[in-house]
């Protein structure tokens, strides 16, 4: 049975568990797809005030169930990032992030269907992403590391990788046009996966030698799509071609070594590896940011350019923004900013103080460990270990 939902109660980033329709049985939102601000604005302009769905409306930023027009409480998915984690508590930031994922997904769908893609579509997305990082770097990095946004895996990974790459590029003082090219390359670096047979991509058991060869061909396919189909310059295409090359020459597809690997590709290689470690995968749990950073630092110049890796650590800190940590006085806090010159002593927002008081809605005090000399981080905490009080 379809339920009626007031349009003015639907937030950007919300999702229905079943397809939702506006008047005249026109599809408003597919099941599980984040609703964009412009979707809501479009119906508002037409004077439409309600939508209908057999499913439930899930609010992405609140563990309070959404309400139907009749005042009944609708179910909502449990949001694991509570207790002051502040992952996407900013509706506008969440809407901008999910809109970028949706835009990249549409590009990927068109490429998968061998349809023509206007390069200005990707250019616009790249420029918007660079601008978002310039304006909200700490907030967006924190949110992507501590949130549980699901769906559109390849597009979401592309957006996350591009954000992390641009953060690194800014630290390395790349000029503006290079930052935009870096963003475009990061967004499209894995686009060749769309041309690898789906049964190989989705296979859960070990790949045969022939299947592994086809999988390892995806950087060549990425390069061809970026340069031949989208007609981007070679430095963007090389990100797709070389993001699996290694500093020691043991990568693929061409075993390119050291600085012969393009700089933008070396940057994306680090961002891609970190993103893969901290993102939830069907076959394993995500790592916490601190463990992922430790894994990168143990590379010993095998896979990654050591200078690029240093820039990444300067950008992110040993405890990346969004990390949850326990202090030596037993307080629990979230990292909100880092110091490049002192990566072990970031700025923190208190979640649970040393007396056991819980701070909801991001209201805890801010501590700067650079000046609070008696306090230090005892260990990093997996956010899933943090339980909100009743």
Q: What is the mean pLDDT of residues 150-163?
A: 88
- pLDDT for 183: 98
- pLDDT for 138: 85
100 band by pLDDT with thresholds 50, 70 and 90: very high
16 band by pLDDT with thresholds 50, 70 and 90: confident
pLDDT in tens, 279-297: 865 544 567 888 889 999 9
- pLDDT for 317: 87
- pLDDT for 259: 96
Please state the domain extents for the chain: 3-58, 91-316, 324-385
- pLDDT for 241: 97
376 band by pLDDT with thresholds 50, 70 and 90: very high
CATH superfamily of 91-316: Hypothetical protein af1432 (1.10.3210.10)
- pLDDT for 202: 84
Angle between helices 176-188 and 234-242 (to 10 degrees): 40
- pLDDT for 333: 93
Q: Among 64-78, 232-246, 251-265, which stretch is predicted with the lowest mean pLDDT?
A: 64-78
- pLDDT for 205: 84
- pLDDT for 85: 38
- pLDDT for 167: 95
pLDDT in tens, 30-66: 777 778 777 787 777 677 888 888 888 886 543 333 3
Percent above pLDDT 90 for the chain:
51
330 band by pLDDT with thresholds 50, 70 and 90: very high
Average pLDDT value over all residues in the chain = 84
């Amino acid at each position: 049975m379809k339920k009626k939902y007031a349009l003015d109660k639907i937030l950007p980033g919300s999702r229905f568990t079943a397809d939702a329709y506006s008047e005249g049985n026109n599809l408003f939102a597919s099941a599980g797809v984040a609703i964009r601000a412009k979707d809501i604005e479009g119906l508002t302009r037409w004077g439409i005030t309600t939508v209908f769905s057999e499913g439930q409306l899930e609010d992405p930023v609140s563990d309070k169930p959404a309400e139907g027009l009749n005042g009944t409480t609708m179910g909502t998915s449990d949001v694991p990032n509570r207790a002051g984690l502040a992952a996407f508590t900013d509706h506008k930031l969440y809407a901008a992030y999910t809109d970028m994922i949706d835009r990249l997904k549409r590009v990927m769908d068109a490429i998968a269907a061998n349809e023509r893609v206007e390069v200005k579509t990707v250019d616009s997305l790249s420029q918007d992403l660079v601008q978002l990082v310039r304006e909200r770097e700490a907030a967006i990095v924190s949110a992507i590391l501590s949130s549980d946004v699901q769906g559109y895996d390849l597009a979401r990974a592309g957006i996350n990788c591009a954000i992390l790459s641009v953060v690194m590029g800014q630290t390395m003082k790349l000029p503006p046009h290079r930052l935009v090219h870096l963003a475009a390359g990061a967004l499209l670096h894995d686009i060749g996966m769309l041309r690898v047979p789906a049964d190989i991509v989705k296979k859960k058991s070990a790949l045969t030698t022939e299947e592994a060869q086809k999988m390892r061909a995806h950087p060549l396919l990425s390069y061809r799509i970026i340069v031949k189909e989208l007609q981007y310059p070679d430095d963007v295409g090389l990100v797709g071609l070389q993001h699996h090359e290694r500093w020691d020459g043991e990568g693929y597809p061409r075993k390119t070594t050291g600085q012969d690997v393009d700089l933008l590709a070396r940057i994306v290689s680090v961002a891609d590896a970190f993103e893969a470690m901290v993102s939830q995968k069907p076959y394993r749990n995500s790592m916490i940011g601190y463990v992922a950073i430790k894994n990168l630092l143990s590379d010993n110049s095998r896979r990654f350019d050591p200078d690029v890796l240093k820039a990444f650590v300067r950008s992110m800190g040993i405890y990346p923004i969004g990390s949850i940590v326990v202090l030596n006085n037993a307080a629990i806090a979230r990292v909100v900013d880092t110091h490049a010159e002192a990566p072990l002593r970031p700025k923190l927002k208190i979640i649970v103080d040393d007396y056991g008081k819980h701070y909801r809605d991001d209201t805890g005090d801010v501590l700067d460990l650079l000046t609070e000399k008696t306090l230090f981080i005892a260990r990093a905490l997996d956010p899933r270990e943090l339980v909100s009080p009743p």
